[in-house]
A and B are shown apart, each in its own frame.
Chain A
Amino acid sequence: SQQGEEDPQALSIQEGENATMNCSYKTSINNLQWYRQNSGRGLVHLILIRSNEREKHSGRLRVTLDTSKKSSSLLITASRAADTASYFCATNDQGAQKLVFGQGTRLTINP
Chain B
Amino acid sequence: EAGVTQFPSHSVIEKGQTVTLRCDPISGHDNLYWYRRVMGKEIKFLLHFVKESKQDESGMPNNRFLAERTGGTYSTLKVQPAELEDSGVYFCASSHPGSPYEQYFGPGTRLTVT
Interface size class of B (residues with CB under 8 A): 20 to 34
A-B contact count (CB 8 A): 59
Interface centre among A41, A96, A104 (most CB of B within 10 A): A96
Give CA–CA (A42, B4) in the complex, Å: 10
Give CA–CA (A14, B33) in the complex, Å: 37
* A interface with B by C-beta (< 8 Å): 2, 4, 30-31, 33, 35, 41-45, 48, 88, 90, 92, 96-104
* B interface with A by C-beta (< 8 Å): 4, 31, 33, 35, 41-45, 48, 55-56, 58-59, 91, 93, 95, 100-108
Q: By the criterion CB–CB under 8 Å, are B59 and A98 in contact?
A: yes
Write the nearest CB–CB distance from A95 to chain B, whole angstroms. 11
A103: which B residues are within 8 A, CB to CB? 41-42
- Which A-B residue pairs are the 7 nearest by beta carbons? A42-B107, A43-B105, A101-B43, A98-B45, A31-B101, A42-B105, A103-B42
Residue of A4, A44, A92, A97 near B105 (CB, 8 A) is A44
